[in-house]
Amino acid sequence: MTTALAAPATAPAPSATRRWTPSRVLVTRSAAERPYGQRVLARLEAAGVNDIELLRGDRLANLRGDGDRAAFMAAKQTLALVVPPASLRRLQPIAPSADWRFDLAQGCPAHCQYCYLAGSLSGPPITRVYADLDEALAGLDAYVGHGTVTSGSAARAGEGTTFEASCYTDPLALEHLTGGLATAVEHFGTHDWAGPVQLRATTKFDDVAGLLELAHAGRTRLRFSLNAGPVAQRFEGATSPVAARIAALGAVAGAGYPVGLTLAPIMPVDDWREHYGRLLDDVATALPAGTDLTVECITHRFTPGSKETLLDWYPRTRLEMDEERRTTKRGKFGSVKHVYPRETMSELRSWFETAIADRLPHARLLYWT
C-alpha cells in the first residue's frame, strides 16, 4: 500500500527559520501577576507584538468563533497568557513517551494537516501559554522516583523520571516569545533533584540558538520531529524545513544534549523507502560522533473526531484519511482509531528497524506504534 501525494497543500509552505508573531495577545489578570507571566509579557513587547490586551479577570471571552475559516485563522494567530486550572498541575502519565506530562503551553501556531492536537483540543485553536511556570517547575519534585513508563524499560535505563513537555504544544515554536523551554531546561539542569530526571521535548522548529549555552547537565532530551521530504512539504505548513531541523539537531547534539528523532507520522507515500532512507542518511551526517540518540516511530493514524476536525481546519487537504484503507483499532474504553493494515505496518516496521540499525547503529529505538 502506498499513499500518493498529488495536489498542493492548503496551508502555508515551510520556509527558513520561522519566528511566529501572534496578531493578538490576551493576558488574564492572574497571568499578568505571575513573575514568569511578566517575563513573557516583556518578551512579547520586545518582539513587536502590538495588540496586547490585559484582561480584568481570568476568563477568556470572545474566543468561541463561529467555526468558519476566518475564525480558525484568527484563533491560530492568537496567543493567550493564562494560569491553567490547578488540575493541570496534577500530572498525568503519558505512555509511551514519558512518565509524566508536563505542559508549558497548549496549542501551536503551525499548520500540520494531520495535527495531533486536532483530536484532543476543544474550542478554537488559540495557543495558551501557561504563566505559572515557576510554581509548576517547583512542583515536579513530588513526582521524582514515581512513574511507570521509563522504569522497567531496558532501552531507557538511566533516564530516571521523565517529563514530557510536548504533549499539547511545540515548545520551540513559542520559545522566542516565552523563554519557557530554556527556563525548564535550566531548572532540570541545576536543581538538586532527589533522583535522576529527564525533561523531554519534541519540535518541528529549528530556532535552538537560545538553548545551546544553557546549563542543561544532560537532563533534557531534545527530539526533532522529522519526516520524508514529500510528507513535510505537503502537510507541515508553517514549520521549519526538515533540513533546518536536522541542522538544529546537530547543533544541540554538539552542545551536549541527549537528542532524539520523532519519526512521525510515518506514511507509506510513493517511494517511501527512498525518502525515509535519505532522511536517515542526512541525520547520520549531521550528528557528532558519540551522540546519545533515541528514535521513536509513530505511524499515521486518525480517529473519527480528529478527521472531522482536520477536514474542518484544512478542507482541501490531500491527506489520506480513508477508513476503507485502514484497520480499525479499539481502545479500552471503546475509542476508535484507524491505523494502517497489518501487512503495511509489518512492512514499514521491518524496514525502519533495519534502516535505523544500519544508518544509526548507536541509536536506541524506544518504541514503534
Q: Does 204 bind ligand SF4 (CB under 6 A)?
A: yes
3: Cβ contacts below 8 Å, ≥ 6 apart:
267, 268, 269, 270, 320
CB of 114: closest distance to ligand SF4 in angstroms? 7
**Residue selected from 127, 227, 239, 309 as contacting ligand SF4 according to rule CB under 6 A:** 239
Q: Work out the end-to-end distance of the chain between its first and last CA atoms, rounded to an integer number of angstroms.
A: 18
CB of 117: closest distance to ligand SF4 in angstroms? 5
Beta strand pairing call for 220-226 and 197-203:
parallel
CB of 205: closest distance to ligand SF4 in angstroms? 8
42: Cβ contacts below 8 Å, ≥ 6 apart:
none
Count interface residues toward ligand SF4 (CB under 6 A): 9
Identity of the residue, 82 or 115, whose beta carbon is nearer to ligand SF4 in the bound complex: 115
State the binding string over 96-115 for ligand SF4 (x if CB under 6 A, else -).
------------x-x-x--x
Q: Please write down the long-range contacts of 11-15, taking CB distance under 8 Å and 24 or more positions apart.
A: 11/111, 11/112, 11/113, 11/235, 11/237, 11/238, 11/314, 12/111, 12/237, 12/238, 13/233, 13/237, 14/232, 14/233, 14/236, 14/237, 14/238, 14/239, 14/240, 14/241, 15/241
Identity of the residue, 243 or 355, whose beta carbon is nearer to ligand SF4 in the bound complex: 243
Identity of the residue, 94 or 115, whose beta carbon is nearer to ligand SF4 in the bound complex: 115
Q: Does 207 bind ligand SF4 (CB under 6 A)?
A: no
CB of 108: closest distance to ligand SF4 in angstroms? 3
Residues 150-179 that bind ligand SF4 (CB under 6 A): 170
CA angle 222, 242, 211 (to 5 degrees): 30
The DSSP code sequence of 218-262 is T-EEEEEEE--HHHHHHHEETS--HHHHHHHHHHHHHTT--EEEE
Q: Does 235 bind ligand SF4 (CB under 6 A)?
A: no
CB of 104: closest distance to ligand SF4 in angstroms? 13
Identity of the residue, 144 or 248, whose beta carbon is nearer to ligand SF4 in the bound complex: 248
Identity of the residue, 204 or 234, whose beta carbon is nearer to ligand SF4 in the bound complex: 204
**Residue selected from 36, 100, 102, 116 as contacting ligand SF4 according to rule CB under 6 A:** 116
Identity of the residue, 170 or 186, whose beta carbon is nearer to ligand SF4 in the bound complex: 170
CB of 166: closest distance to ligand SF4 in angstroms? 8
CB of 22: closest distance to ligand SF4 in angstroms? 14
CB of 314: closest distance to ligand SF4 in angstroms? 11
CB of 122: closest distance to ligand SF4 in angstroms? 15
Identity of the residue, 116 or 188, whose beta carbon is nearer to ligand SF4 in the bound complex: 116
Instruction: Give yes or no for a cis peptide into 109 (omega within 30° of 0).
Output: no
Amino acid at 351: W
Residues 249-268 that bind ligand SF4 (CB under 6 A): none
With CA atoms as reference, report the closest residue to 117 among 169, 47, 75.
169
Residues 301-340 that bind ligand SF4 (CB under 6 A): none
DSSP state of 323: G
Identity of the residue, 110 or 259, whose beta carbon is nearer to ligand SF4 in the bound complex: 110
DSSP H helices in the chain: 29-33, 35-46, 69-76, 133-138, 171-178, 180-190, 229-235, 242-254, 272-286, 304-313, 342-359
The DSSP code sequence of 30-42 is HHHHSHHHHHHHH
Identity of the residue, 183 or 202, whose beta carbon is nearer to ligand SF4 in the bound complex: 202
Interface residue list for ligand SF4 (CB under 6 A): 108, 110, 112, 115-117, 170, 204, 239
